[in-house]
Amino acid sequence: MARTVSVRGLTEGAVLAALVTVLALAANYIPLVGLAANFLCPIPLAVLMIRHGLRVAALATVVAIALGSAISGPVTGLLILLGFAPVGLAIGFGLRRQWSASTVVLITGGAVLLALILGGVAAKIGIGVDPRVFAREVIEINKRSLDDAAQRYGRLGLDTRQMAASITMMRDFFDYSYRLIPMLLLVGSFISAYLNYEVARLVLRRVGVKAPALPPMSMWGLPAIALWALPVLSLLAALGARRIAPLEGFGANLAFLIFFVLVSQGVLAGWVLMGKYRFPAWYRVIVILLFSSGPTGLLLFFLGLADAAFDLRRRWRPVASAPS
């Protein structure tokens, strides 16, 4: 019996490994189709993990990497190894263990983050490109572009003194953004994990694999006790800035992460509040976009802060009428 399952798994693994290779090539070379292929490529590996376990899924991953490298070079192989395989194997592993959807997304996000770190290390060792140096160069290019734009406005006769404060603020933001790279990688990894899980859940349902749904996004948010982390981490960053640089970076990244989460929670609270008054979806999107840009973004932060402290969304959600 075990031998029959093994042969079936190997056969299915060979077919799906070829499918992974085709999707990876599409993601690498076909612009519009490649956007969809980026989300579809991990799914065959997830199917193999769910149906046949880690051994067959890992073997199919190796075959797909070898095929991709043989057809179009090592770039496609690395794309499968560090871009698609961690996502597919993590989603399949969590669903095989019948974990909750939030746990699967957390595990997948951790796998994506680890793959990004390994990709940076591989780039430094393999081709001598340090991602940190590259990020610093990109920031310097943006700062020079900002200065060039200000000079062009000056040559057109505009008063650049009125823009001086905004330019200084933008330059300071670019300088500080280098310290926030860990936070940006963390947020990006879990956003990628969420999007990949939602796409995989829809596709897996078509092939008879049940994947639990995440709670509605309007119910996401930080618990009230997490609000204590913001002042504590800000104090930690301030103390670290004077004595211990790594401590300052750690505190600043976590403080900005919580700030980003609270702004997102403010967006969700605003969405629920406008839904209470039956505003159409397009109107809510426009209002949130207007408030998300510029200083008014602080209003969303304070709204998220209030929602985390007082659970405003629970009060604003429409209550279903009780049966008579």
What's the predicted TM-score (pTM) here? 0.81
Q: What is the pLDDT of residue 126?
A: 72
On average, the pLDDT of the chain sits at: 82
Domain edge (last residue) among 126, 158, 186: 126
Residue 113 placed within a domain: yes
Q: Residue 3 above 60 pLDDT?
A: no
Domain boundary among 91, 110, 126: 126
Among residues 90, 96, 94, 83, the alpha carbon closest in space to that of 108 is found at: 90
DSSP state of 317: S
Q: Over the stretch 213-247, which tens digit does the pLDDT of each residue have?
A: 988 877 888 877 777 777 777 777 666 666 666 76
Q: Tell which residue, 229, 296, 304, has the closest CA to residue 260.
A: 304
With cut-offs at 50, 70 and 90, classify the pLDDT of residue 318: low
Domain count, the chain: 2
Q: For residues 45 and 107, what is the distance between their CA atoms, to the nearest angstrom?
A: 16
Q: What is the pLDDT of residues 48-63, one digit of tens each?
A: 999 888 899 999 999 9
Residues of 234-265 as b/e, b for ≥16 C-beta within 10 angstroms?
A: bebbeebeeeeeeebbbbbbbbbbbbbbbbbb
Per residue in 247-294, pLDDT (tens digit) is 677 777 888 888 888 888 999 999 988 988 888 989 888 988 888 776
Query: Is 209 domain-assigned?
Result: no
Tokens 């939030």 label which residue? 102
Instruction: Tell whether the model's pLDDT for residue 1 goes beyond 50.
Output: no
* C-alpha dist (Å) from residue 50 to 28, 93, 98, 223, 230: 27, 7, 10, 33, 40
End position of a domain, from candidates 126, 148, 169: 126
pLDDT of 95: 94
210: which DSSP letter? -
Could you tell me if residue 171 is inside a domain? no
Residue 132 lies in a domain: no
